[in-house]
Amino acid sequence: IAGITQAPTSQILAAGRRMTLRCTQDMRHNAMYWYRQDLGLGLRLIHYSNTAGTTGKGEVPDGYSVSRANTDDFPLTLASAVPSQTSVYFCASSDRGDTDTQYFGPGTRLTVL
């Protein structure tokens, strides 16, 4: 089934630990995005990538890093997790067509203690 997968589904992490959230899409979309969504709030962009080999910073990039070695994968790394990074993380992709409609993965629920 075509789409976006994220792993893990949920994770509880001790503060100070390193964590990588995985995101893979099989739609051959050029662009990919990472958002965080906190309770009752909208989506805030962390990092994005318009094409393999390029990345850019979004609205809330501090404490996060990304890489885009190929079209399909876009991992998000927390180098040293802090409790304020407790959130639901969504990965998305778009084909950069006429509208830039985004298609979202199922999300990763991360709790940092």
Residue ranges that bind other proteins, judged by CB under 8 A: 31, 33, 35, 40-45, 48, 50, 56, 58-59, 90, 94, 96, 99-107
Q: In whole angstroms, how close is the CB of 73 to other proteins at the nearest point?
A: 18
Q: How far is the CB of 104 from other proteins (least distance, A)?
A: 4
Asked if 44 contacts 59 with a C-beta cutoff of 8 angstroms, the reply is yes
CA dihedral 41, 105, 34, 89 (to 10 degrees): 50
Please, which residue, 80 or 111, has the CB nearer to other proteins? Answer: 111
CA 20, CA 11: separation in Å to the nearest integer? 11
Nearest distance from C-beta of residue 50 to other proteins, angstroms: 6
User: Whose Cβ is closer to other proteins: residue 73's or residue 95's?
Assistant: 95
Question: Which DSSP string do the residues of 35-92 spell out, in sequence order?
Answer: EEE-TT--EEEEEEESSTT--EE-SS-TTEEE--SSSSB--EEESS--GGG-EEEEEE
Closer residue to other proteins in complex, CB, 15/87:
87
Q: Minimum CB separation from other proteins for residue 6, in Å? A: 9
| Closer of 75 and 103 to other proteins (Cβ) | 103
